[in-house]
């Protein structure tokens, strides 16, 4: 899966959970509806879609579209 595919899937997941269209500039700090409950929902949806498992330490660090995408790109490259 390349970066374009990752971005497309992430856009779909985040948009569906946050309830409005998003793009790759999305950040938790800049998105008022990215609350603690939705954060967990995004984490589990990404895990299911991409077949990854975030550690307890990584979960709070996934605070932007770019961080998710970088993480997933790295995982799919190895």
Partner 1 sequence: MRHDLRLDGYAFTLRPVTLEDAPFIVEVRTSDPKRVRYLHPISPDVEQQRAWLNRYFDRPDEYYWVVERMNSKEREGLIAIYNFDANHRTAEWGRWVLRPGSLAAVESALLVYRAVFERLKLDSVYCMTVAENLPVISFHDSCGLSRAGLLQGHFQLGDRKHDGVKHVCSRQSWPVVDQQLETQAQAIARRFQPPA
Q: Which residues bind partner 1 (CB under 8 A)?
A: 32-38, 40-41, 44, 56-57, 59-60
- The four Cα atoms 17, 9, 22, 75 give a dihedral, to 10 degrees, of 100
Q: What is the DSSP letter of 21?
A: -
CA distances from 1 to 27, 33, 37, 65 (A): 23, 29, 28, 17
Q: How far is the CB of 9 from partner 1 (least distance, A)?
A: 20
* Smallest distance from partner 1 to CB 40, Å: 5
Nearer to partner 1, 5 or 35 (CB): 35
In the bound state with partner 1, the residue whose beta carbon lies nearer, of 2 and 61, is 61
């Amino acid at each position: 899966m390349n970066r374009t595919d990752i971005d497309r899937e992430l856009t779909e997941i985040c948009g569906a959970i946050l309830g409005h269209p998003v793009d790759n500039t999305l950040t938790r700090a800049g998105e008022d509806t990215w609350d603690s409950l939705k954060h967990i929902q995004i984490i589990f949806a990404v895990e299911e879609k991409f077949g990854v498992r975030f550690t307890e330490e990584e979960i709070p660090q996934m605070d932007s579209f770019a961080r998710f995408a970088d993480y997933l790109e790295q995982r799919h490259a190895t």
